[in-house]
Amino acid sequence: MNRTASTLSAGPLLLAALIFAAALSRVIPHPPNFSPIEAVALFGGAYFIPRGWALVVPLVAMFASDLVLGLVNGGIYWSYFASAGYLMVYACIALSTVLGFGLRGKVSGGRVLGYSLAGSVLFFLVTNFGTWLGGSMYPQTAAGLVAAYVAGIPFFQWTVAGTLFYSALLFGGFELLRRRHPQLRTQTA
């Protein structure tokens, strides 16, 4: 089978569909930071055989969900696209996808749990740093950086909860599909 045909086979299309569905779930009302961002990135990194697809699909899915959120929420959300926080979130998606490469061929409940927690911590550290660095809410001092991290603590619990929930849904659901449809095993990592 040629590379183009295998790239467009059922396995990668299913992975992309699962990622897009999870990303679009952000439109459903949820607690702040309870989202699939890190889980989608880890999942893509773990299962897409071509690394380029592993990076691009989660980024495009999250961008599509951001556009939908912008349309639903209007001006308040559109200003997000011009912020440094926006870039930091997308940097986290890319970094977490690369982190997900470590799960390739080694997916287990314990490993997904560990990587999900690591991804949540990464998201907390990077996005709160970005809020401090690119915004005017906090002074550009060490005390301002500490204040940015302290202000982010109440949201961290929801980041962890959302990442764990969506990781269980994506990784667990895909494993169930792979058991029912063995052809999916050969088309993904």
Contact 88, 127 (CB under 8 A): yes
Q: What is the pLDDT of residue 113?
A: 98
Structure confidence by residue, pLDDT tens digits, 76-113:
676 777 776 788 889 999 999 999 999 999 999 999 99
Q: What is the pLDDT of residue 46?
A: 96
* Cα angle 96, 168, 102; round to 5: 35
Q: Kindly list the distances between the CA atom of residue 56 and the CA atoms of 18, 29, 143, in Å, as whole numbers in the listed order.
A: 14, 26, 37
DSSP conformational letter for 109: H
- Which band of pLDDT confidence, cut at 50, 70 and 90, is reported for residue 189? low
Q: What is the pLDDT of residue 7?
A: 40
Assign residue 138 a region (left: φ > 0; alpha: ψ between -120 and 50; beta: otherwise). beta
pTM of the shown model: 0.88
Contact 135, 147 (CB under 8 A): no
Helices (H), the chain: 3-7, 10-24, 37-47, 51-73, 75-78, 84-100, 109-134, 142-167, 173-180, 183-187
- Which band of pLDDT confidence, cut at 50, 70 and 90, is reported for residue 4? very low
Structure confidence by residue, pLDDT tens digits, 40-90:
999 999 999 999 999 999 999 999 998 898 888 776 676 777 776 788 889
- Exposed, middle or buried: residue 41 (CB in 10 Å: 0-12, 13-18, 19+)? buried
